[in-house]
Structure 1
Amino acid sequence: MTATTADLDLELPVATLLRTGTAAAHTSAETSQGAGWLTRGELDKEEYVRFLIMLYHVYHTLEQALDQHASHPVLSPIYNPTLLARTAPLYSDISYLLDTPPAALPEHPLFSELQTSPHPALAEYTARLRTLAAAPNPAPLLAHAYVRYLGDLSGGQVIRRRVAKAYGLEDEGGEGVRFYQFDKLGGGGEAGLGDMRKIKDWYRDGMNSGVADDKDLKVTILAEANKAFELNNGLFASLKAPSSPPSSPPSPSPAEPISTTTPQQSTHAPMEYEKDDKKKSEYPIQVPSTQQDSNLISVSSVAAFIIAMGLAHFVLVIGGFTGAKGWEKLEAVQRWFEGLVQ
């Protein structure tokens, strides 16, 4: 259920307001069936490429609009195509996955079909972006940029790892998954998770600066952000079911709480750009009791926990924490820790 104007604290910065005011729409998108297939790397390869082509058209339309209004006072603080633009990386990935030279890509049947006869969900999405770009006040474009870019910087990194594994791209030097790769803020190589957090902080600061204390604009942008989630839901709903079930249960998302007692964990993380910004101390770590009638934790369990956290920090700092391999390191530490406390 979307919050009404009466429910909103319009004194809050727009970035905070968007986080709270889109929570229901966010949950609806990330828990949809199509998002689950995408996030777990279960889509047939052709269907995954079809999804990338739809995203290519979305980003092409959005980024043309942002270019057109680069000097707009609401949009200029977050306008940084060198850092954020996804159109070119998407085109590169599609070309690689279809084994088709970039110049010949428009003639590929899969690409040309969506160009000439787009799915209704895609047509609605791009039409909405063009309408906003042509409006007297294009400020609501900020909402669409927020939903897409911050999603790519967070939940998109979960998808990157699983896509690379599902489609045999782990040892391709980044080919096929460039859409999920970002440079560091200010340049200097590929961004790791810490660098991406800095980008997201910079982005939120830019949104807050551009919107400032304009309460009417906050309401408008919040409504448009909920619409953006709805449009993304339409893309997820257009996806075709996998032709065969997954061969093994998916591993938990790195954005999910570490728990040794929960038998089944959610695997939806397409846009978890707020959840992964919580402090690590806020993540619940449930330690199972060895006594049925007691909730006390033994000294040895506490010690194991402290050792595990220290070793995890050491591994991630010394060994690095970027890309698919970084996620694997984190999961390895998680499994090791779970073995200690059981």
Structure 2
Amino acid sequence: MPRNGRAELDAAGIVDPGLRAAYAACRELNAVHGRTFFLATRLLPAARRPAVHALYGFARHADDIVDDLGDGRSFADRAAQLGSLAVSLGTALDGGPAAHPVLAAVADTARRYDIERQHFIDFLASMRMDLDVTDYPAYADLARYVHGSAAVIGLQVLPVLGTVVPRAEATPHAAALGVAFQLTNFLRDVGEDLDRGRIYLPADELAAFGVDRGLLVWCRRVRRTDPRVRRALAHMAARTRAVYRRATPGIGMLEPVSRACVACAATLYREILDEIADSGYAVLHRRVAVPARRRAAVALPGVARALAARLRATRRVRTPSPARGA
């Protein structure tokens, strides 16, 4: 286990060897598959990072069941495996044995932070949709999928981050940020999703710009971006930016030690939209990414803010309250 991983588990008070190994497996999944998210997580206090890694690890594990199409599994196999995951998760959340390391870690996290079970149920329901839903007629249809696949992720993470206002006040903003991240991913990954037979863009809005599945497939095949596709994607990018604006007030509602992490993630994901626009919306034949030097430029000031917030929090804890009447 990397030294930083051990320090995080020590800070979180996770001492059981089996649980430490489970959390370490989730951390590795985050480090390998979620570069932007993992970078932002480094800005959290060490004690809170394992919980975020566990939530990411579970989501990634479920996502791999439905998205790894090169392993020869049939639809029925995937459906059965996803159903088994739901049962195993329920057992782990009830305090029973965990059938997989990510389940041990995420169940422990759910208990530590009192995360609602319904969020996990809603997430798995959206994963189940990925097995047989390939198109979304309108944004309202897509929104039902996005609630379970993204909004609930924001709601799961919120108790870990902590708030300075009643949690219910921050909840809509946390959900909106999860949605914004997911919509950004849809635009970035439209070509890869098309290869899996899925389109996460509302069909009626595509049609308004003269775009359909056939045109998208053609653009993917010939590695060109049709002007109609460009206009449709620009429209959807604009809506995604509006979702980020709805989410932004929630950052100030978080505990100060968590704000730098979320601000960094939000900035970097918004900049994926910038990269998409700068590419001429050529996402059907390439995968855009924020350059490493830019990720570092965003993260470094965040490190300073995070350290300052932790120092202030430490001083508040160490400074005794004045006696009443003094």
TM-score by length of 1: 0.30
Larger proportion of helix: 2
Which structure ranks higher in relative contact order (CA pairs < 8 Å, sequence separation ≥ 6)? 1
TM-score, normalization by structure 2:
0.31
